[in-house]
């Protein structure tokens, strides 16, 4: 299994970039999201409709790439070996660069608590993993992916200005505070901040710059120029295939600090004297959802953590003649430590530090939300990666994405239809359900059900503890029939 995982990571380096995107897409901007909305914009915790909201367990998993497309039936069959051009097809004719990504975000017990109608605090505990790679042109992806070393590529020169692969897994404890900072007339402003304590669990990076090589024969190649920086944290040298994740998990190792900040504006025009539809009912804060439209901006995942490099980590000038092509492969039964050490002895070492700083996938989040009639809503949100450039060797970066979500909301039921497109032009339609304490969905569900070939997918699920009161009161029956009166314009109060 360990060898299979390493081969998968190598494929990601050939055909891969961004990993972190919007968590719980479609549901993440709902007024019922509670503690699940805090990672997207901490200001959403202020003036919450919940006195308290507890997440028991939640997970959001994503994976995708631009180079390989897999036959859906082959993926579902569980077969161990897949055959190229039968079970999967590489995009060998593309003119663009190739990318891939994967992420997992597990939210462990977390809680939001409303101090009063204007301010809230939250504690979130998450274990997160993010891996991305890319920047490699399609000709080089073909060179490594199609029966390497393939004689069809002999006597050809290949050039790559930049290619990189990075991965990071970390523990995250966050304390958040949000409050209404201005409330005047039709306008309400909220602000929030999350301070995070980070504990790095595992990370690795490989960066190739200004590479040029000539594939002379299937045995020999000349590397005309190039610099390679690679490394991983020293704790990984102690990990063996017999170790479980829990046995090596240490939330306070490799410490770092992170920060999220956000603001939200709500437009609250005159509501005909009725007040909230929930007024007089069981809701803790009946004024929470009386906005007609709201807009928010946040910057999340500022910061990072420091690691000590493993001994084999190296910065190399890889210029060399008559390099044995197969010597660049990891050999059977060769440990990662031994492989990295061997590669370092083949080339000229450059100056190298003992530590490295792994940046979080910093992103700019924006959203707009329109309340159509108290039950139907339309929201739009965007995540823009802020550290996706080529200057920093040590980072993972967010997936730039735009999403529109029509939704239907009741107190104990929510239906969400996210429609999204990412920076690579991959468009999706999905579905999410909130039913009492359960939240489940996928932003690519409907799209992938209709496709025969898949190159990306996602799924999320969460279980919460929320105050649920099942009684005769509802928007239509209880509280003097506020929703019915408002809808039919009867029994209007004197203004």
pLDDT, tens digit (0-9, with 9 covering 90-100), for 194-205: 999 999 999 999
| 428 secondary structure, DSSP code | E
What percentage of the chain carries pLDDT values higher than 90? 78
CA 254 to chain centre: 22
**Residue corresponding to tokens 């790439």:** 65
Decide if pLDDT at 415 tops 60. yes
User: What is the C-alpha to C-alpha distance for residues 12 and 379, in angstroms, rounded to an integer?
Assistant: 33
Q: Which residues contact 123 (CB under 8 A, 6 or more apart)?
A: 110, 111, 173, 174, 175, 176
* Residue 422 token pair: 């990412």
Q: Are 354 and 347 in contact (CB under 8 A)?
A: no
**Number of Cβ within a 10 Å radius of residue 385:** 23
**Residue 367: Cβ-neighbour burial (10 angstroms; 0-12, 13-18, 19+):** buried
Buried-state track 307-340, b at ≥16 Cβ within 10 A, e below 16: bebbebbbbbebbbeebebeebebeeeeebeebb
What is the predicted pLDDT for the residue at 287? 79
pLDDT in tens, 24-33: 999 999 999 9
**Residue corresponding to tokens 């050490």:** 341
What is the predicted pLDDT for the residue at 27? 96
pLDDT in tens, 97-107: 999 999 999 99
The pTM (predicted TM-score) of the whole model is 0.87
Which residue in 160, 328, 236 sits closest to 5, CA to CA? Answer: 236
DSSP alpha helix (H) spans, 203-267: 245-248
């Amino acid at each position: 299994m360990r060898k299979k995982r390493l081969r998968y990571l190598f494929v990601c380096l050939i055909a891969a970039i961004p990993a972190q995107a919007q968590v719980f897409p479609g549901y993440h901007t709902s007024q019922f999201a509670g503690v699940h909305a805090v990672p997207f914009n901490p200001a959403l915790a202020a003036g919450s409709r919940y006195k308290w909201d507890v997440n028991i367990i939640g997970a959001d998993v994503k994976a995708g790439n631009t180079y390989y497309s897999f036959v859906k039936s082959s993926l579902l069959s569980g077969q161990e070996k897949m055959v190229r051009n039968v079970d999967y097809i590489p995009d060998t004719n593309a003119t663009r660069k190739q990318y891939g990504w994967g992420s997992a975000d597990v939210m462990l017990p977390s809680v939001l608590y409303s101090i009063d109608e204007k301010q809230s605090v939250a504690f979130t505990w998450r274990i997160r993993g993010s891996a991305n790679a890319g920047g490699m042109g399609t000709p080089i992806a073909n060179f490594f992916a199609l029966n390497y070393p393939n004689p069809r590529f002999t006597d050809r020169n290949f050039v790559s200005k930049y290619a990189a692969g990075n991965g990071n897994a970390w523990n995250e404890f966050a304390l958040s505070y949000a409050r209404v900072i201005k409330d005047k007339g039709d306008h309400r402003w909220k602000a929030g901040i999350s301070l995070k304590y980070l504990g790095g669990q595992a990370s690795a990076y490989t960066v190739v710059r200004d590479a040029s090589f000539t594939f002379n024969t299937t045995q020999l190649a000349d590397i005309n120029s190039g610099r390679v920086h690679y490394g991983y944290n020293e704790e990984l040298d102690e990990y063996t295939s017999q170790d479980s994740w829990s046995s090596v998990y240490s939330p306070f190792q490799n410490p770092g600090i992170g920060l999220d900040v956000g603001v939200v504006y709500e437009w609250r025009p005159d509501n005909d004297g009725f007040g909230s539809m929930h007024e007089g009912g069981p809701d803790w804060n009946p004024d929470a959802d009386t906005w007609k439209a709201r807009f928010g901006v946040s910057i999340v995942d500022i910061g990072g953590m420091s690691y000590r490099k493993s001994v084999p980590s190296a910065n190399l000038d890889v210029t060399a003649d008559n390099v044995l092509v197969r010597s660049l492969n990891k050999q059977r039964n060769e440990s990662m430590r031994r492989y990295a050490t061997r590669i370092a002895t083949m080339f000229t070492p450059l100056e190298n530090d003992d530590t490295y700083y792994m940046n979080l996938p910093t992103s700019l989040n924006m959203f707009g939300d329109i309340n159509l009639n108290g039950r139907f809503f339309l929201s739009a949100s965007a995540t823009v990666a802020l550290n996706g450039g080529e200057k920093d060797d040590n980072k993972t970066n967010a997936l730039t994405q735009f999403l529109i979500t029509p939704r239907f909301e009741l107190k104990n039921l929510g239906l969400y239809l996210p429609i999204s497109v990412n920076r690579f032009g991959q468009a999706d339609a999905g579905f999410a359900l909130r039913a009492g304490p359960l939240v489940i969905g996928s932003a690519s569900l409907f799209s992938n059900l209709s496709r025969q070939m898949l190159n990306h997918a996602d799924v999320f699920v969460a279980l919460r503890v929320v105050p649920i009161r099942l009684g005769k009161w509802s928007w239509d029956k209880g509280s003097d029939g506020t929703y019915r009166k408002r809808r039919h314009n009867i029994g209007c109060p004197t203004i």
